[in-house]
Chain A
Amino acid sequence: MSAKRRFTVSDFFLHLVVLIGFVVSVYPIYWMFVSSTQDNEQIFGQSTYLGFGHSLGANFHDLMVNSGINIFRAVGNSLEISIIATLIAVLLATLAGYAFAIYRFRGSKAMFNIFLISLMIPPQVTMIPLFILMSKFHLINTMWAVILPALVTVFGVFLMRQSFMTFPVELLDAARIDGLGEGRIFLRIVLPLMRPILSSLGILTFLASWTNLLWPLIVLDDASKYTIPVALSTLMSTQTSPNYGMIMLGASIATIPMLVIFLLLRKQFVSGIMSGFYR
């Protein structure tokens, strides 16, 4: 292939079709940010749908004072819940996956088969009993009602077990000869070596927790405890004559943390999504 090719007709159509797909993918996101600076008249008027408006300040004031929610509080709650859930879930899944891959022990096969079966059951089945359980333990309206069920990532155990299958056991033996305990080996040697796959699993768990609407909607009904999806959904439903720019401003603010995380961890993000698919 020569380095310089002429731009042919088929090249033109290739770029045209990709460009259409690109615009359709990106434009709604762009519009979400743009309309957060506009008032209702602009949003639904015959405007160009491209330029920024002048109502950002008014929308922000409306969001902070009249919306019935505190969007920054919701961002904070979501971050807190997702980070705690992710850290604990990844740790538990890694410990269990490690044991299944590295050790041989009684009952491991049976446990493993039960895990496999549980993967086939959709999470909605557990909602009613979990709600009763959370009420019994007075956890409704606390972040633990959201976190505790999110800690069970059976998929994570499988993912970690798979990755530990190729772990160099000689390294563990050497450490044992040096007199390190099993727990210390895990913390000092195993965890640092597994960082790529840990970040993949972490991002998957974080995304699942961050975007979950249904379960937090069920167990949180105090506005100060709302996560982002719950806060946004009430923003939509409680307004009688909604200020759409304000709603889009809320959506934009809620989107920014995820965009920042993506920009910081782009590679891990893509490999996380990949490993989530190939379970």
Chain B
Amino acid sequence: MSSTLEREQIPARRRHRGNVLYPASTPYWFVAPFLVIFLAFLVFPIIYSLVISFSQWSAGSLHFRGLFQYSKLFSDGQFWHSLANTFIILIIQVPVMIGLAALFATLLNSPRLRWKPLFQLGFFLPILIDSVAYSMTWSFILDNHGLINHILNTFGIPSVNWLGNAVAAKVSIMLAITWHWTGYNVVILLGGMQSMPSEVYEAARVDGASAIRQWFSMTLPLLRPILLFEAVLSTIGTMQLFTEPFILTGGGPANSTLTPVLYLYKMGFQTFDFGYAAAIAYVLAIIIAVFSVIQMRLTRGGEI
């Protein structure tokens, strides 16, 4: 950390970087390795993917079919179903998770909380568990004879078929993702809170503002940009949901937890319909791009 301090003490200088000459080719040598990899494994696939989505892949070669894959996709009930599932999951799960994260970050930041490092560590731990490992763990916890039903039974509530019922399966996916990602959002929020001026709070306390009042009129506005950004990042992440439904439900029952990426995987790498899978990927990319644009608008609005 001391090195950052030293760096900041150096007065502003020209961005044009130094006065001593260097060979004109130098910058290109520095950029070249990344650029080669970037072109080969990102730019080329992105363009090639578009070509594939306009084609039919058979016997190792492409046959141009125009918009055939896209028109097939728009009348494919399973694809719409997967999009609908994703929207239902994200509309419920993202606000719940962000709300929980804001609540726990606030509580974990409270000066009256004891054993703070221990509690913060506990909230951080789920981030370290691999998605497959935690999905498997949750699939056993949610089993018909698992822990959650056991708890419900002790309160006299009958067992729920968590992974075998269309509605409950969606709830299960939401539970698992919320468990895994809430701590991540708490960590980010805590970082934001620690950079807040404590004098302001001191002043508010002297003026007799209640804790809840302080939170809504001071903490919330300061956290607003972070919360918005978290919401959009989570939304984009949820649109790409794969591991949790793949492990927990396999997309079932009756496609009630099928997601676009899971469908893409099935079409691309189980049916090997490359053209169709590429079209799915592009439609998904467009939907995500729309969300990214909204993200930029919102975060800019949040920072004012």
Contacts and interface: CB of A to CB of B under 8 A. Distances in A.
Contacts of B45: 125-126, 129-130, 133
B38 A154 contact: yes
A213 interface: yes
Contact of B285 (A19, A125, A157, A169): A125
Contacts of A21: 100, 104, 107, 122-123
A118 B292 CA distance: 12
Interface stretch (B73-81, B83-91, B162-170, B182-190): B182-190
Nearest to B19: A173
A25 B274 contact: no
Interface string A1-41: 10001000001001101110110111011011001000000
B154 to A, nearest CB: 9
B269 interface: yes
A102 B20 CA distance: 12
Interface in A224-238: 228-229, 232-233, 235-236
Interface in B83-130: 100, 103-104, 107-108, 110-114, 119, 122-130
A36 B233 CA distance: 34
B240 interface: yes
Given A121-B46, A193-B3, A32 B133 contact: yes
Contact of A182 (B22, B126, B136): B22
A28 B41 contact: no
B177 interface: no
Interface in B261-280: 261, 264-265, 268-269, 274, 277-278
A122 B285 contact: yes
Interface residues of B, number: 104
Contacts of A31: 137, 141, 147
Interface residues of A, number: 99
B272 to A, nearest CB: 10
Given A98-B30, A104-B17, A128-B274, A213 B131 contact: yes
A172 interface: yes
Contacts of B113: 14-15, 18
B179 to A, nearest CB: 7
Nearest to A35: B140
Contact of B34 (A118, A129, A157): A157
Contacts of B239: 122
A270 B41 CA distance: 29
Contact of A127 (B183, B246, B281): B281
Interface in B1-20: 1, 3-4, 7-8, 10, 13, 16-20
Interface of B: 1, 3-4, 7-8, 10, 13, 16-24, 26-31, 33-35, 37-38, 40-46, 48-49, 52, 100, 103-104, 107-108, 110-114, 119, 122-134, 136-141, 143, 145-147, 150, 179, 182-184, 187-188, 191, 229-230, 233, 236, 239-240, 242-243, 246-247, 261, 264-265, 268-269, 274, 277-278, 281-282, 284-285, 288-289, 292
Interface of A: 1, 5, 11, 14-15, 17-19, 21-22, 24-26, 28-29, 31-32, 35, 43-46, 49, 91-93, 95-96, 98-100, 102-105, 108, 111, 114-115, 118, 120-122, 124-133, 148-149, 151-152, 154, 157, 166-170, 172-173, 176-177, 182-183, 186, 193, 196, 210-211, 213-214, 217-218, 228-229, 232-233, 235-236, 244, 247-248, 251-252, 254-255, 258-259, 262, 270, 273-274, 277
